Structure 1
Amino acid sequence: MHLNISRNHPSSIPTQIAAEIRAAVANGTLAPGDAVPSTRALAQQLDISRGSVITAYDQLEGEGYLLTRQGAPTRIHPELTVTERPKTAVQSGLSRKVARPRISLKPSPGNAGAIRPATWRKAWREAAKHPGTDVDNAGEPELRSAIADHLRLARSMALTPDQIVITGGSREGLMCILHSLGTGLRVGVEDPGHPGLRRVIPLLGHEVVDCVTDGDGVVVHALPDDLDALLVTPSHLYPFGAAMPVPRRAELLEWAANTRTTIIEDDFNTELRYRISPQPTLSSLATNADVLTLGTFSTLLSRELAAGYVVASAATAASLREIRSILGVPVSTVTQRAIAHLLDDGVARRTSRAVHRDLARRRDILREHIVPLLNDAGVRAELVPGDGSDLTLRFRQPSERDQFEARLLAAGLECGHESALWTNAGDALVLSFAHLRGADFEQSISFIAREVSMLVRAQNATGGDSNG
């Protein structure tokens, strides 16, 4: 078994070993049931400590890649979930198999900060102690009170629980808002901007209107004055990486009040993107403008948690509650109480601080190791400005981009495309790392570093100009 391990790599030796074995399974070099070298033999082969190999094997066993039994060779797990791999010209009639899971590097509103399973279990145990009651479609009073307190402490928002409506996530929250506004709406969206929620709008029969955006957010003087609503992400301007400054926010709110346009503020990821206090929400600054704020728990607590909320005026919240009683599927009472426990216990705020540290570490690894490596290979790699960990990769030729993407896909990594994020976009690849779990981040970095190193060696062997 050949593994490409380097002491100069940004990832640790055990992480590289695990990534190489995953890659061998993904490309068919190793199949379920195949034996792998013993920890002692592989350590001697790679000239590294046996402890590093043991650490890597333990990780892979925990992930279900390896099966170890007393007195028997360690093997790729025979019951590893696999899918058939397309046959190639060099394959025999027996089809190889590859692991089903892939790592998506497409931009995502998620983050790497899911709370620990033990913390979740404790919250659920506390929530399950209470007897069941009739489900409130607007949300359990306990959770709405916890959200109000959390937003007061984390965002300096003075709210009452009656201004909060619990939803099944941001998409359902947006659907309820649009239903409350009427039919045949003209809804403005940021361009460029994150695709996220904009896809919901045409599904409900409304018109999407692209609105020009610069590094400070939507350009207010360029906004059409016949919009019914405007969906904005003032605290996460994509792909610029900044937040809308207060003067632009004030200008936008004045425009909204004058044109009687409802502002829908998507507040995702806000608390996780700033090492200092985040910007105030538009709703906390609004005077005469009608502003509704969409919040979600998926970025702060867990990506698997389909729960969110809408912050609105008391009158608008009453309308949303009525709509949700007809359209919305109630979020589980136990889930709501578990979230309330996590908010009241300070878990959410501690999680955000831990995520800040991890995102800073990831950004440092990308800036110090991956970006220079890509640039040496003739790829113009740039970190998206701000606190995030997204990379844009621009290639000299479309064929080079396609070949690079194909190599990553073969290794189990799925790239994002700049052209899919907004209209009139470029042709760069976009790689997002903030939403990955720790092991997936390390694996992705190892794959990318390996593929780029191979590309540079190939260019050097052929006498190519790697600086393009």
Structure 2
Amino acid sequence: MELHVVIEGDKDLTGQLVRQLREAVRAGRLAPGAKLPPSRLLAEQLGLSRKTVNEAYARLTYDRVLIGRVGSGTFVAGKAVPQAPAPQRSDFAGADMLARWRGLHTPLRHAPHEGGSRFEYIGGAPDRKLFPQAEWRRCVMQALRESSRSRGLYGPTEGLPALREAIARHVAFSRGVRCGAADIIVTNGAQQAFDLVARVLVAPGATVAVEEPGYPPVRALFEGLGAHVVGVPVDGEGLQAERIPDGTCLIYVTPAHHFPLGMPMSTRRREALLARAEALGALVVEDDYDSEFRYEGRPNDALQSLDRHGRVAFVGSFSKTISPELRLGYLIAPPAINEAVAAAKHLVDWHTALPAQAALAKFIDEGELLKHIRRCHAVYAARRERLMQRFAADLAPWLELVPTQAGFHMAALARRTLDMDMLLKLTRRVDVGLYSIDGFYHFSPPRQGLMLGFGVIATEDIDTSLDRLRDILQQMG
């Protein structure tokens, strides 16, 4: 890569080079410690004599802009200088749109201190120590070897056929979903699946229904696209379908494991939701984010498997079962929207990274995904059981767990009024990372409670951390 320097004419060549290099350092285009090209190479690139370049380097070295190291080369000297932020303009034709996106509330964009406590209950994060490094590495290396023999062209927008077929088999086995490989579109995580569905169905001003409380990034996404978003209350059976307003074109739900409270949607409510969607002509987006981890009771059918009218789009993710760093998810779209979603995916990013897709296909086909889920299930089940025992015993005077059957987080609702801000500050001081459910309410006053993710906390650390929580609650009265 060539250093970007523009020399005009044939006068004061050394001065021109000095000024441009000095400005590149000042503006941050040449960072402190960056190595400059050797004088011979830069002279050839710019069509200058080597003497001119050497003189420029010498002058900047004298001014302490550059520093020469014998046997190593010439480097930018000094420490990074913070750049003043560029002024924001308000005269863009799209200023209203910019203001809308800037103003969106995104509470799950975790602040730097979050997720960093010794005893951590952050939600949505699987246990990194359980990640099958050796098995995944083997699949990745095999995928890279095969990729090296390819023509290096773009891939199919919908995803690699091998991965789509593997996903179809996996969801049929684990969730009873009815689909074929042709129904599946591989996405960059579940969030892209939600975006693609909204792009093809939700016009500005259209009504979209979400759960209240619910998953903030989805609500914010719909608002950013200009939708009129309404919150539909949930109770112990899930979404109250009869309260979905007329004119709704899209309904977002988490029926297997409500986010964030955790209860499953009852069969009666599932049937009512499908009937209401059919009456409205609306699409239901089923977010099945972590239901592979089920602990008790009979398995509930996926909402998609109960759908007889092509009203449900099933969204899955490998962020919870494998790792959120992979950014791999999928959408099982009903026939009416499949082609439109594929067109939107093509225009947005063409396709999801192919080597990662190939590695995941092998990981699933060779049975590694199911083995990994079983290993994680045993660990998470033990953590869940210990949490339930503690909240039924010495923590019961203050907090009550919401019954749940799946996933790796639970919600604990306050039995009495608590100063939640103070509670979270005090627990963080003793290295216990706890999180309120306040941020998941948007359309109604929040209930007081905690979201307890048990994907990260070590099983042997649960009692120690909850002892500290109990002691603080006692001190708070």
Scaled by the length of structure 2, what TM-score is found?
0.67
SS in 2 for 1:224: coil
Match of 2:170 among 123, 136, 150: 150
CA distance in 2, matches of 1:221, 1:198: 20
Instruction: Kindly indicate whether residue 403 of structure 2 is the aligned counterpart of residue 382 of structure 1.
Output: no
- 1:404 is aligned to 423
- 1:27 is aligned to none
Larger Rg: 2
Match of 1:141 among 145, 151, 161: 161
SS in 2 for 1:353: helix
After superposition, the C-alpha distances for 1:96-136 in whole angstroms (9 at most, x for unaligned) are xx999346956633433753211211111221221344322
Instruction: Kindly indicate whether residue 191 of structure 2 is the aligned counterpart of residue 171 of structure 1.
Output: yes
CA distance in 1, matches of 2:336, 2:251: 20
Q: Which amino acid aligns with 1:145?
A: E
- 1:206 is aligned to 227
- 2:470 is aligned to 452
Instruction: Kindly indicate whether residue 360 of structure 2 is the aligned counterpart of residue 318 of structure 1.
Output: no
Deviation for aligned residue 1:433? 2.7
Q: Which amino acid aligns with 1:127?
A: A
- State how many pairs are aligned: 356
After superposition, the C-alpha distances for 1:208-246 in whole angstroms (9 at most, x for unaligned) are 111122222221222212101000111112455332233
After superposition, the C-alpha distances for 1:357-409 in whole angstroms (9 at most, x for unaligned) are 2222112222334653434xxx512222113542526375544x444322222
8 A Cα contact 2:160 2:358, kept in partner:
yes
8 A Cα contact 2:139 2:360, kept in partner:
yes
C-alpha change, 1:243 and 1:390, in structure 2 (3 Å) is closer
- 1:124 is aligned to 140
- 1:344 is aligned to 365
CA distance in 2, matches of 1:425, 1:273: 31
- 1:9 is aligned to none
C-alpha change, 1:313 and 1:155, in structure 2 (3 Å) is same
C-alpha change, 1:414 and 1:204, in structure 2 (3 Å) is farther
CA distance in 2, matches of 1:297, 1:210: 27
SS in 2 for 1:309: strand
Scaled by the length of structure 1, what TM-score is found?
0.69
After superposition, the C-alpha distances for 1:154-191 in whole angstroms (9 at most, x for unaligned) are 22233221110011011111111111114212110011
What are the within-5 Å matches in structure 2 for residues 246-261 of structure 1?
A: 246-261=267-282
Deviation for aligned residue 1:271? 1.2
SS in 2 for 1:264: strand
CA distance in 2, matches of 1:283, 1:246: 13
Q: Tell me how large the CA RMSD over aligned residues is.
A: 2.9
Match of 1:420 among 430, 435, 439: 439
8 A Cα contact 2:124 2:409, kept in partner:
no
Structure 2 residue runs without a partner (length 5+): 1-112
SS in 1 for 2:301: coil
What are the within-5 Å matches in structure 2 for residues 275-286 of structure 1?
A: 275=296, 278-286=299-307
CA distance in 2, matches of 1:329, 1:443: 45
Q: Which amino acid aligns with 2:157?
A: N
8 A Cα contact 1:271 1:278, kept in partner:
no
8 A Cα contact 1:371 1:382, kept in partner:
yes
Deviation for aligned residue 1:326? 0.7
Moved more, 168-177 or 311-320: 311-320
Moved more, 208-217 or 442-451: 442-451
CA distance in 2, matches of 1:196, 1:100: 18
What are the within-5 Å matches in structure 2 for residues 49-60 of structure 1?
A: none
Instruction: Kindly indicate whether residue 313 of structure 2 is the aligned counterpart of residue 297 of structure 1.
Output: no
Match of 1:181 among 201, 206, 209: 201
- 1:94 is aligned to none
Deviation for aligned residue 1:261? 0.7
Moved more, 145-154 or 447-456: 447-456
